[in-house]
Amino acid sequence: MSEYYNAKRTRGLFDPQSSEPFRLSRSKIELFIKCRRCFYLDLRLGIAQPPGYPLTLNTAVDALLKKEFDAYRAKGNPHPLMKSYGIDAVPFRHEYLELWRESRRGGVEYIDPETNFRVTGGIDDVWVNSKGQLIVVDYKATAKSGEVSLDADWQNSYKRQVEVYQWLFRKNDFDVSPTAYFVYVNGKADAKAFDARLEFNVKLIPYEGDDSWIQGMLAEARKVLEKDTLPTSSEDCDYCAYWGARSKEESC
């Protein structure tokens, strides 16, 4: 991990005196919500949380789903999953689709004039219904017994994720449906043998998004970054809990 992780960077930091729009990604918005202290350490001081290891199987599923939906996109036809769930839509065709999918190099973006944040987010997919409304779609992959759902508290981050995407498209003057969809694939572990094949159940889960929290959150994030003092850590931040316990022992 040390080959890729820079514990103290000097680029991409927030400068309160700068007039240039500051890039704030969807993942950094989530970091702010989870722990303002870690958010400040990352974007103001250049000390980011160590990254997790890449979920290569999930990445492969994501890539294959994109190829599958793109095949129907090219024909202008609905995917069979849309038909089976009675969704009046087709995959959306747009010249910027691949750019919107690139979270690191592009994504959907909008410069918020109130905070001067250049908010960005890389989508998985977008569909369009017969009313011309865009439908934000996100792919999720897991392997668990029973039905997948969005009921767990930790999945609130999934909901905020699509709400940010909905907000970004609206700010780019698109008509956006309030209903987003999760294409949730669940690896089946009840087969008799592996046989070099992993099968999945696919479920389409609708979610009614509400992006009304975003503008206020951006204003709060700006206030936090403009200060010269560290904010308090979140009570349920594992990183802060670890460093607090470690620092206590090392100071003895």
Structural domain span for residue 104: 22-229+237-244
Model's pTM, two decimal places? 0.93
CA dist list (Å): 224 to 12, 70, 89, 216: 17, 41, 41, 13
Q: Is residue 1 part of a domain?
A: no
At 9-26, the pLDDT tens digits run 899 999 999 999 999 999
Give the pLDDT confidence of 78-115 residue by residue, as tens digits: 999 999 999 999 999 999 999 999 988 889 999 999 99
Q: Cα separation of 53 and 36, whole Å?
A: 23
CB 93 within 8 A of CB 76: yes
pLDDT-derived band at 2 (thresholds 50, 70, 90) equals very low
Mean pLDDT computed over 114-142:
97
Query: Is residue 6 one of the residues assigned to a domain?
Result: no
Give domain status of residue 165, yes or no.
yes
Specify whether the CB–CB gap between 197 and 218 falls below 8 A. Answer: no
- Candidates 70, 177, 165; CA nearest to 129 is 177
Q: What is the mean pLDDT of residues 194-212?
A: 89
**54 assigned to some structural domain:** yes
Instruction: Please give the tally of structural domains in the chain.
Output: 1
CATH of the domain at 65: 3.90.320
Residue 2 lies in a domain: no
CA–centroid distance for 242 within its chain: 25
CA distance linking residue 205 with residue 215, whole number of Å: 26
Mean pLDDT for the stretch of residues 62-71: 95
Task: Report if residue 194 sits inside a domain.
Answer: yes
Residue 14 lies in a domain: no
Q: Looking at the domain assignment, is residue 179 inside a domain?
A: yes
Which of 101-115, 126-140, 171-185 is least confident?
A: 101-115
- Tokens 């930091």, residue? 13
